[in-house]
Amino acid sequence: MKPYVLFCFVLAMPAGAHVGSPDAFFEGDAGPYHVFVTIRKPPVVPGVAVFELRSRTGDVREVKIALGAAYQFDEKLLPVPDTATQSRPDPQFFSCGIWLMEDGPLVAIIQLDGSQGKARLAIPFTSYPQGTLPLGNALGVGLAALMLFLAAGLVSIVSAFVREGDLEPGALVPAPRMRRARMVAAASAIIVAALLWAGRQWWGAEALGHRGIVDFFQPPKLEAALESPHRLVLKVVGTHPNWARYAKRTSLVPDHGHLMHLFLIRVPSLDRMWHLHPARLENGDFLADLPPVDAGRYHLFGDIVDRNGFPWTAVGEIDLAATGGPRGSADDDDSGWAGASLALSAEARRMVYPLAGGARMVWLPGPLRAGVATQFRFRLENADGSPVQDMEPYMGMAGHAEFVRSDLAVFAHIHPAGTAPMAAFEVVRLSGAPQPSDTSMPGMQHAAMTMPHDLLSPEVSFPYAFPSPGTYRIFVQVRRAGRVETGVFDAAVE
Ligand SMILES: [Cu+2]
């Protein structure tokens, strides 16, 4: 690979720390305005992404959106922003389709203007092709017919030119010239066929190149091996050969203070879940210090963020035997949960999950339809129904939620600010893009991030939309009085 090609690749690193859940969501403050933003991604790049913004406070009159590179953001390189369309029946709702021309970690710079003045917002998100669109049958047949018509036309024009190009009108074509015309027709047919063959090769090479980009952005594999009952060694392996080269040239940035967030979920019933923080070894592999686990087959999701702000989720599986005994070095942020199997019945939706000491986590009602972006709200109550008073940040956030579909083809790790990992906000901040809140203090990454030991509201919310119908399990993790608690909810999504 030539150096400049590699260079392009490095700049073109975007993020998708989610599996099977490409759209991006954000909720937070832009100056005086509290907004909910949904970015619906196109299946291929270039393609049109649809931005939707709802202002929950204030009177927003105008929304403008421009896209830039998240890494090495440069204000001067920002294009002229697109103006979003304001909904007539719902004036606090704006939408705008914008072409994504390149893959990589991008940032949407959103400018708001309204009764409370102007404000700006930067939302990191990723752009990458999710697949290759098939050529429709009708289009294929139509193009093939046109191609045949043009090829036959070219051959007949050339042979007609040789046969009668300089004849007087009405003159007969001499026999030798007829023969020559036939030979020229045969020769030009061969040349046209060769051109078509070359075109097909070119088409194939383009398709293969695109396939390579699609593969590049597939979730990497997480190869796991047990070294000893408590030592799980993890290797992140990209789907495309270029991924390894890319990984070699880039470094990882910590997200909530950890280079990897590893989730182990027992399959098929999703009845055990561990959220661990493996350490990085010198050779680039990760080492997880396993707690005592119950035996079974576990699906692994490893969230990492590279220095360009691209989140990757590596995916693997491992069979574990039951382990007991003490761990080598437990991390304070590690947490685990054990409970009932995923409920697969269509009406399944448990709204209340019991926590320690008689407290409970209550899922407040919201729509359960695929593609409908909403706030997933969870309230923590004491046994007597009063709100709990001991909520603390867990790794800098009010809460962490993992949305997992029963077949594990969907996994999304969401925070109160949305889908972008904190590390991606940090990359954007360091590269000089405007911050979510104009009033933010230095070092404060975004509105939803809080200082340690602050007591938090007993209600946490996550902006998200189920990407597809199916049965989902939602793990909601919060910290109360120094202890991580996990609420687990099942939902049948139409
Ligand atoms: Cu998290």
Type of residue numbered 406: S
CA 419 / ligand 1 centre spacing (Å): 10
Give the whole-angstrom CA distance, residue 399 versus residue 411: 17
Mean pLDDT of the chain: 86
Dump pLDDT digits (tens) for 332-376: 788 889 888 887 665 556 789 999 888 999 999 888 899 999 999
Give the whole-angstrom CA distance, residue 342 versus residue 491: 9
Confidence of residue 18 (pLDDT cuts 50, 70, 90): confident
CA 14 / ligand 1 centre spacing (Å): 19
CA 355 / ligand 1 centre spacing (Å): 20
Segment 277-293 shows an average pLDDT of 90
Tell me the two tokens of residue 263. Answer: 């989730």
Confidence of residue 2 (pLDDT cuts 50, 70, 90): very low
Residue 466: pLDDT above 70? yes
pLDDT of residue 481: 87
Distances (CA, A) of 478 to 156, 425, 452: 76, 21, 13
CA 72 / ligand 1 centre spacing (Å): 25
Confidence of residue 52 (pLDDT cuts 50, 70, 90): very high
CA 409 / ligand 1 centre spacing (Å): 19
CA 275 / ligand 1 centre spacing (Å): 9
Segment 319-323 shows an average pLDDT of 87
Residue 451: pLDDT above 70? no
CA 413 / ligand 1 centre spacing (Å): 6
CA 16 / ligand 1 centre spacing (Å): 14
pLDDT of residue 326: 67
Confidence of residue 323 (pLDDT cuts 50, 70, 90): confident
CA 395 / ligand 1 centre spacing (Å): 8
CA 454 / ligand 1 centre spacing (Å): 18
CA 93 / ligand 1 centre spacing (Å): 28
Q: What is the DSSP string of 23-72?
A: -EEEEEEETTEEEEEEEEPPSSSSEEEEEEEEESSS-EEEEEEEEEESTT
Type of residue numbered 1: M
CA 442 / ligand 1 centre spacing (Å): 22
Segment 460-471 shows an average pLDDT of 94
pLDDT of residue 465: 95
Residue 165: pLDDT above 60? yes
Confidence of residue 412 (pLDDT cuts 50, 70, 90): very high
CA 97 / ligand 1 centre spacing (Å): 29
Phi, psi of 194 (to 5 degrees): -65, -40
Segment 58-87 shows an average pLDDT of 89
- Least confident interval from 108-117, 170-179, 234-243, 269-278: 170-179
Give the whole-angstrom CA distance, residue 145 versus residue 230: 64
Give the whole-angstrom CA distance, residue 239 versus residue 216: 6
